[in-house]
Structure 1
Amino acid sequence: MNRLFTAFIVGAMVLGVLVGWVLNTALPAAEAAAWAGNLQIITDIFLRLIKMIIAPLVFTTLVAGIAHMGDASEVGRIGVKTIGWFIVASVVSLTLGLVMVHILQPGSGLNLALPTDGAAAAGVDVGKFTLREFVTHLVPASIFDAMARNEILQIVVFSVFVGTAVSAIDDKAPQVLAVVEQGAQIMLKVTGYVMKTAPFAIFAALAASIATKGIEVLFTYAKFVGGFYLSLGILWGLLILAGVVIVGPRILKLVAQIRAPTLLAFSTASSEAAYPRTLEELQKWGVSRKVASFVLPLGYSFNLDGSMMYCTFATLFIAQVYGIEMTVAQQFTMLGLLMVTSKGMAGVPRASLVVIAATLTYFDLPEAGIALILAVDHLLDMGRSATNVVGNSIASAVVAKWEKQIDVPAEEPTPARA
């Protein structure tokens, strides 16, 4: 069934590109835009369906998972291991972006017309991206408000408190726990229904994008786009290699199992769209429910590997376009700055662009550079979103391995112990 679903997704992607190309070449720009707007309705409905289930799914699975952990010390231990992995992955992602942009030099000799205004022209607001906003944003003023706005990080904070409180009660509040577990099962079933519509949303998203921007957008920034996707491929290789070293060769089966949610994230340019299916596949592979439901939501807030690599890659690309040389000290400072600011990307609209704009301002680089990458940002966001899914899946498997919380399905042979 999983292979058939993946085939439908791939078919929808190919058909979407073809239909978009036909609309773009056969119709006047205004009519193509009208068709794209109508197609976008399908994608918008699908993404709203995903947003509809995210909050209750995160809350119920996380509370149930923590409640079964036993005590606060176990929650703390898993939390420390999870954050430790996230920090290492962040350093690797940011550094790889820095190294690759120097090797490939995608912005060198690129003579593009410069816009007269800066970040405002790109619609990027960096005013709200401050340390105070980030820290206070962690804690919900109201859990109902957080759920209404799908603030995953705030829902995680509240769920950790509730789950820890349930586990601390002597009888573990069995009636409350039963309701939460049943709610999780219901939401997983609803997720299954929503996911059946994914190929239609993927077709509509790609067709609408190509219809309005034309297939030429794939070639205009070929060196920049190609270099970034090559860098993403190397990052995937490093993440999978780390997974093989820590978890074992069976991690390759996990990478194969998450191909459907990865393709879904790629084609919709939304990591959030892939969350429910990723959670399901992790548990099918063998990650215990309590680890998967704890690590994955945190990963969506703190472990956006593809987005972090894009921040260094795009910032230095803009510097290269303008012929600006950054000193080694400045580049190391940028790594440290992005290490902190990238953790505030969750819940911020057009997060990567906001972080990049803030970094440009900090180093007095032309903010107008944001407009240079805006044309292909959606295309690059597709790769970033898919990478985030892979990175968070491997992180979940690694933490489960450290916690001895991997259950090999009965139909699979148990690996021989050394």
Structure 2
Amino acid sequence: MARIALKAEYVRDLPLTETGQKFVFDTALPGFGIRIGTKAKAYICESRVKGRSRRVTIGRTDQLTLNDARRLAKRELAAMAGGVDRNKEKAEERASTMTLAEALNLYLKDNDLKESTATENRRLITGDFSDWLDKDVKGLTPTMVVRRFDKITERSPSVANHACWVLRAVMNYARVVTKTDAGEFTLPPNPCERLTDLNRWHKAKARTGKLAKDQFPAFFDALDAANNCDFADFMELLVRAGLRRNEAASLLWSDVDFESETFTIRAEVSKNGKALTLPTSKQIMALFERRREAAPDSLQIFGDAKRFDPRKSLNKLREAVGSDLTYHDLRRTFLSVAEEQAVPYSLLKKLGNHSAGNDVTLKHYANTIEHETLRPYMQKVNDQIDRLARIDNPELKARDAVKRLNSALQDLEEFEQYQVKVGELKRMVAELT
């Protein structure tokens, strides 16, 4: 922090910083100085108000002369000496006039949300709190929030939860951005906290929908008979790879490596914000190959996710399966089959592209898992899906037959009189495999 007798020419010629900020204070008027940033220079004054340090911005150096800035600084320094906290006043003024619409725009602008999340958040606020958008945030009371929550609950408890979660986040952010430089809140406590105090939030019911074992044949028969091949392939990929709907719908051909037989969920698509490369099974590779043959010039494997909500095709599939099947049910089906096939927990989390959360051990271990480690498990799950669906897979049937034969030979080895014949049969089986 430099100190110098400020002159107009000196202020004009001060270079901007490459990074961060730099301060130069005037020796003629203590507390008066210049803040230099990467994009602009501004006159400031600094003093203590009731024992706390305060810094007030007077104006940019290209908009005020040095003499005018020094005169305004004297006025501000005198006010601070009298106990006036200009920054607190500005923060309170901003807080008192900020509307819910302004708070929402600020929250969405400053937070790095996925486009789909930001769109949904805006829809919830503008839909369920449209009559509050022009109201000052400061005027939204706990009683208002509870009444609105109860009103939305009449329509849908889950929407009431979701809408007020977003409102709570917006209000929390508004409280933070309107704090004084000393860290003091200028807005009252978040009115949404009254819902917590009253234990009003609805307990979410865990969704457990998935394909039952006896539904697999009907599911795949319906896909074979579907008029919409795009829809059929999309649904098959969901159940065979355990992808989320958006992850599958956003796949580009550049995400698929036919040579290494892998595909990548890009970071911008992944729910946890991290890219993940997964191995394909033979069945998934066959699906990708027929998709490429059908649309060799397309950049996307499936195109926009919205294309894959054809109501007629989905309703026919639900009718064939005999349940109100959802896209996410197919992901749960994949993970359920993987669990039944004894896929280790850490690998199951990786296959499902789940976050490690607070599990420190899993977080570090899962980061070291390569796609080749996952490949046999991906194949194992897809083979089991073929068995459950009774799909005609000659290679799988042959492998299963050999496995059963080896098991039978193991049992026969216990009998001495069959040992010679068993040895001959084992040699024949070895030739087959």
Give the TM-score taking structure 1 as reference length. 0.23
Give the TM-score taking structure 2 as reference length. 0.23
**Structure showing greater relative contact order (alpha-carbon pairs closer than 8 Å, 6 or more residues apart):** 1
Structure richer in strand, relative to its length: 2
Which has the higher Rg, Structure 1 or Structure 2? 2
Structure richer in helix, relative to its length: 1
